Amino acid sequence: MNRSRLSTLFGLLVVCAMILSACGGSATEAPAAESEAPAATEAPAATEEPAATEAPALGPITVWTKFNDASPQNAQDEWLKAMLASLKTDTGLEATNVVQPHDQINAKLNLAVQAGGDVPDVSYMDSQFVGNFYQNGTVMDLTDYVKSAPWYGDINQAALAMCTGPDGKIYCVPANTTNRMMYYWTSDFPNGFPADTDAFLVETARLKAEGKYAITFKGSEAFASDVLYFQLVRGFGGRYGDENGKVAWATPETVKAVEFIRTLFAEGYAPEVDLAAGFDFENPYKDASAASLSAGSWSYVFLNPITAPDGTVFDNGAASVEEAMKAGQLAVAPPLAAPGGKAATSVNGSAWAIPTGSKNVEAAQAFINYQMDAKRNADFAVGYGGLPVLNSAFEDPRFSSVYWQAVIKNLNDNGAGSDPIVNFDQAMTKFADTVVKLIQDPSLDIMTELQAAQDEVNASQ
Amino acid sequence: MTTSKRTKSLSLTTSKDTRLANLFPFGLVLPAVVILALVQIYPTLYSLYLSTTRMRAGKLTSVGIKNFERLLASSDFFESLQRTVVFAGSYLILTVVLGLILALLLNRRSALTPVYLVMVFIPWVLSDVVSGTIWRWMFNQSYGLIQVALNPLLDNKSILSNNDTAMMVVIAASVWRTLAFTALLFLGALQTIPGEVLEAAALDGANRWQSFWRVTFPMMRPTLLVVILITSIRGINSLGLILSTTSGGPGAGTTTAAVYLYRTAWQFGDFGVAAAMAVFLFIVNLILTIFYLRVVRVENNL
């Protein structure tokens, strides 16, 4: 081969390598999710003596969570820091936490297992991902372990159902359940929070005349589909998915829910910032420019400082909401129902899972067993912003507060499980993107867009 | 030894020496090429393999070209390509034009030129994540410098909540970040233009614009083509800055092909389809490169 051709070949190879490095170099990891309002809170009380768990000679383990024990910013982080310390003291088991961004922990766990790399011994997971993890073989079947565990008789069966896969096997151990509800300023709704969307629209016109937004909520990204959108779709009688894990939202009921959402933006009852990425949607409620906020039972952890409509500032970390409630300024209510219908709140949970490939399964089980004690389960629930999963944990006096009683009532009256969609994250992202598209272009037909989105998500299963 | 045998022996030795001399430069480059092959070519080939597979119940199964079929049937993918064209096209034009203007201004030497150079370079030394976060904060509805200043004019409309304005913000952020690089390349090209050529043009009666268009610009063409090539590829593959600024939102309003690829792989866990997208983008970049290389070769031959 002559020199000119060889030069050309090498030149092409080098250029190819440069292009590939340009391609590869752009694939950076996503930035960590913007941190929520930091609040110094008290750590939940260190546990007192439950029956001491056995301390077999189990090695140190690695645990993935979305909490930062090394630099605590809020009650969730403080809970983990205290728990890891007491775990070591009580059982001798050392667990090293690796913080993962809250919106990436499930995807990263999936990736770690699929790539065959180092996986943690035990990981936090969101219960909505059971279907996805089942499909990808991400986590171990824990059925035998759970059913023979000493705490099995005390666990709430509805909570356990969140961790049950399409094949009926148990793939995680639930740790707390969360539900979604409305926070509102009592002075903005002097007759109480409206029960349904029609009654709400009466109030919205009044509030708009007063120069306020009636409601603020997460309007984009997968998270949006989990909060207000789920409540409305279910409230109007629609569903996200069917029993086979397929998406099934293209129904007249869902269309009505989306029409209501469209009205909120078209009439200026909700701020446009709700469509932006991140958690900026909370700010209008925190500064009282919005009368209500659609959020979750955990939101009180991040709603601080908050300023009531009369200018009173509540700035006491995770206790700010409780203080505002005691002052009569803030209250919570069930989600909005459809006219003549019943409210619905999605019930999901935090859970512990043992990833496929975990090297210390016994130690991982010991870690989970340590959590499944009435006091510790209550600690996690309060620290996180959810309800415990052990029936005995509900007797903890902390759940007798006004706030928690409202959360428990909401769960009992309006709880509705998530639909077991196989490609859950993709489906929720697609639904939220479709709703945003429909909000931004009022000329689009809702059913047509919902059907197209449904078909696309189902085709990728 | 006869003269002919000596000549033959000498010519054989010379021929061998020549071959070795010809191969020597390639030998020097070989280690770098081998490393690049391991860290670039192997992963690329693996991506190609991955694009023909799907994960089910923890097992990787072969599905042939089904992932490509799914991709071509996906409206999300085509919409992301449209956004990529808008983003990359705007980014390219603005970066090149503004970079050239900046270079022309910096080329007029003044006492403050070093200060201007530092100011121009600050965005370049920041990472994509830091740059994107700065721009996101500047447009925060409650406290963003630019958003709050514009609120009276915009009737409090959130800039990052609208597809069009959000796209403008990510384009502006990307141009701001890369301007220093293109300005520097153009500045280098400007400084290689002999002063005598420009003097001669002035003596011939050319005004400033004519001098630029007829003398300076043609001499900068090779640099211009390199800048266009690099900027195009960068625009198509841009990910970190878009994610930091808007996360691809509102909705999917700023979700370009690279962002969609990232979401499909790392958020949805569908690595097969994501790999298929990566192969597609690789082919697009390769076609662009070959095209530009041909244009450069034609320029050199003229």
* A370 and A240 co-located in one domain: no
B271 contact residues in A (CB cutoff 8 A)? 114
Tell me whether residue A429 is in a domain. yes
* A118 and A266 co-located in one domain: no
Question: In this predicted structure, what is the pLDDT of residue B3?
Answer: 58
Question: In this predicted structure, what is the pLDDT of residue B9?
Answer: 56
Instruction: Indicate the residue of A17, A220, A423 with minimum beta-carbon distance to B268.
Output: A423
Instruction: Indicate the residue of B238, B249, B268 with minimum beta-carbon distance to A277.
Output: B249
Residue B135 has φ and ψ, to the nearest 5°, of -65, -35
Tell me whether residue A25 is in a domain. no
Tell me whether residue A369 is in a domain. yes
Instruction: Indicate the residue of B40, B56, B161 with minimum beta-carbon distance to A272.
Output: B161
Lowest-confidence segment of A240-254, A411-425, B68-82, B188-202 by average pLDDT:
A411-425
What residues of chain A, 414 to 433, have a C-beta less than 8 Å from chain B? 423, 425-426, 429-430, 432-433
CA distance, residue B128 to nearest chain A CA (Å): 9
> Are A137 and B58 within 8 A, CB to CB?
yes
pLDDT at B12 over 90: no
Q: Which of B51, B83, B91, B161 to mutate to test the interface with A (most CBs of A within 10 A)?
A: B161
CA distance, residue B160 to nearest chain A CA (Å): 6
> Are B250 and A137 within 8 A, CB to CB?
no
CA–CA gap between residue A272 and residue B139 (Å, rounded): 13
What pTM value is reported for the model? 0.82
pLDDT at B2 over 70: no
Q: Which residue has the tokens 């903005």?
A: A188
Q: Which of B268, B285, B297 to mutate to test the interface with A (most CBs of A within 10 A)?
A: B268
B267 contact residues in A (CB cutoff 8 A)? 104, 107, 425-426, 429
CA–CA gap between residue A145 and residue A133 (Å, rounded): 18
| Percent of chain A with pLDDT strictly greater than 90 | 69
Task: Read off the pLDDT band of A136 (50, 70, 90).
Answer: confident
* A432 and A291 co-located in one domain: yes
Per-residue pLDDT tens over the stretch B130-182: 999 999 999 998 889 999 999 999 988 899 999 999 999 999 999 999 999 99
* A86 and A130 co-located in one domain: yes
CA–CA gap between residue B242 and residue B133 (Å, rounded): 10
Residues 6+ apart with CB under 8 A from A368: A122, A173, A352, A354
What residues of chain A, 81 to 140, have a C-beta less than 8 Å from chain B? 104, 107-108, 110-111, 113-114, 132, 134-138
Q: Nearest to residue B53, comparing CAs of B70, B66, B40? A: B66
What residues of chain A, 175 to 234, have a C-beta less than 8 Å from chain B? 219-221
Tell me whether residue A283 is in a domain. yes
* A399 and A310 co-located in one domain: no
B40 contact residues in A (CB cutoff 8 A)? 17, 20-21, 24
C-alpha distances in angstroms, A427 versus A129, A283, A418, A453?
12, 27, 12, 9
Pairs of CB atoms within 8 A across A/B: 182
CA distance, residue B161 to nearest chain A CA (Å): 5
Interface contact A141, partner B, CB < 8 A? no
How many other C-beta atoms are found inside a 10 Å radius of the C-beta of residue A216?
28
CA distance, residue A310 to nearest chain B CA (Å): 19
Residue B102 has φ and ψ, to the nearest 5°, of -60, -40
Interface contact A22, partner B, CB < 8 A? yes
Task: Read off the pLDDT band of A166 (50, 70, 90).
Answer: confident
pLDDT at A1 over 80: no
| Percent of chain A with pLDDT strictly greater than 70 | 88
Please give the residue of chain A at the shortest CA–CA distance from B26.
A10
A108 contact residues in B (CB cutoff 8 A)? 266
Task: Read off the pLDDT band of B109 (50, 70, 90).
Answer: confident
Q: Are A406 and A345 in contact (CB under 8 A)?
A: no
Question: In this predicted structure, what is the pLDDT of residue A118?
Answer: 86
> Are A19 and B233 within 8 A, CB to CB?
yes
> Are B262 and A136 within 8 A, CB to CB?
no
CA atoms within 13 A on the CB side of A125: 31
Question: In this predicted structure, what is the pLDDT of residue A440?
Answer: 94
Question: In this predicted structure, what is the pLDDT of residue A16?
Answer: 52
Question: In this predicted structure, what is the pLDDT of residue A425?
Answer: 86
Per-residue pLDDT tens over the stretch A274-304: 999 989 999 999 999 999 999 999 999 899 9
Question: In this predicted structure, what is the pLDDT of residue B14?
Answer: 61
Q: Are A427 and A232 in contact (CB under 8 A)?
A: no
For residue B157, give the H/E element and its range. none
* A140 and A243 co-located in one domain: no
Task: Read off the pLDDT band of A51 (50, 70, 90).
Answer: very low
What residues of chain A, 339 to 398, have a C-beta less than 8 Å from chain B? 356
Question: In this predicted structure, what is the pLDDT of residue A59?
Answer: 76
For residue A173, give the H/E element and its range. strand A173-178
Tell me whether residue A41 is in a domain. no
pLDDT at B73 over 50: yes
* A290 and A436 co-located in one domain: yes
pLDDT at A24 over 70: no
H helices of A162-298, in order, are 197-209, 221-226, 228-235, 252-266, 283-286
* A71 and A155 co-located in one domain: yes
pLDDT at A38 over 70: no
Question: In this predicted structure, what is the pLDDT of residue A172?
Answer: 96
Tell me whether residue A322 is in a domain. yes
Q: Nearest to residue B23, comparing CAs of A9, A16, A7? A: A7
Per-residue pLDDT tens over the stretch A175-228: 999 999 999 999 999 999 999 999 999 999 999 999 999 999 999 999 999 999
For residue A152, what are the domain limits?
Answer: 61-178+348-417
Q: Are A126 and A103 in contact (CB under 8 A)?
A: no
The amino acid occupying position A177 is T
Judged by DSSP in three states, A418 sits in coil
Domain count, chain A: 2
- CATH homologous superfamily of B67-301 equals MetI-like (1.10.3720.10)
* A333 and A352 co-located in one domain: no
Q: Give exposure, A414-435, as e/b (b: 16+ Cβ within 10 Å).
A: bebebbbbbbbbbbbbbbbbbb
In chain B, what are the domain boundaries? 1-35, 67-301
**Full DSSP string of A37-52:** PP---PPPPPP---SP
CA distance, residue B56 to nearest chain A CA (Å): 5
CA distance, residue A408 to nearest chain B CA (Å): 32
The amino acid occupying position A238 is G
Tell me whether residue A80 is in a domain. yes
Task: Read off the pLDDT band of B8 (50, 70, 90).
Answer: low
CA–CA gap between residue A315 and residue A312 (Å, rounded): 10
Residue A353 has φ and ψ, to the nearest 5°, of -130, 155
CATH number at residue A143: 3.40.190.10
pLDDT, mean over chain A: 87
Question: In this predicted structure, what is the pLDDT of residue A46?
Answer: 38
CA–CA gap between residue A407 and residue A335 (Å, rounded): 11
Is the backbone peptide bond immediately before B250 cis, with ω within 30 degrees of 0? yes
Task: Read off the pLDDT band of A33 (50, 70, 90).
Answer: very low
Tell me whether residue A11 is in a domain. no
* A413 and A424 co-located in one domain: no
B243 contact residues in A (CB cutoff 8 A)? 30-31
Residues 6+ apart with CB under 8 A from A438: A258, A262, A444, A446, A449
* A397 and A452 co-located in one domain: no
* A280 and A296 co-located in one domain: yes
